[in-house]
Amino acid sequence: MAAQPSGHTDAVRTKEASGDDWTEIWPILRHIAEAGETFCWPRDITEDQARAIWMQPAPNVVLVLRDGDRIAGTATLHPNLDGAAVHVANASFAVDLNSRDRKSTRLNSSH
């Protein structure tokens, strides 16, 4: 595995998030909420509020994009409706500020 100049590695992979990933997901989401540009969340959202929104149980799916040993991005996918329209879904993506210029973070949306 070759190290990149910025300290990143070639080991980029997407996996389903676990509760243990939250400590790395929260700073990404906090920065996005505070900026107030892309998510329609309160800029002062609490960690508990954000976790309740982002880390919902099935049928929702939460993914993380790992670049080596760190989380470079995250996504949440969930159905918009129940019943016959359950196949209609919504997704939100968040990328770590330090990874936004990395081509690897684009893999997040291809999962």
| Residue 27 pLDDT | 97
Report the distance separating Cα 44 and Cα 62, nearest Å.
22
Sequential pLDDT tens for the chain (111 residues): 444 445 545 567 899 999 999 999 999 999 999 999 999 999 999 999 999 999 999 989 999 999 888 999 999 999 888 788 878 889 999 999 877 665 544 544 454
Note whether 57 and 49 are within 8 A (CB). no
The tokens describing 109, both together, are: 């949306």
The tokens describing 31, both together, are: 């920065």
Enter the pTM of the model.
0.78
Alpha helices in the chain (DSSP H): 22-35, 47-54
Residues contacting residue 81 through CB under 8 Å, at least 6 positions apart: 88
Note whether 39 and 33 are within 8 A (CB). yes
| Residue 63 pLDDT | 97
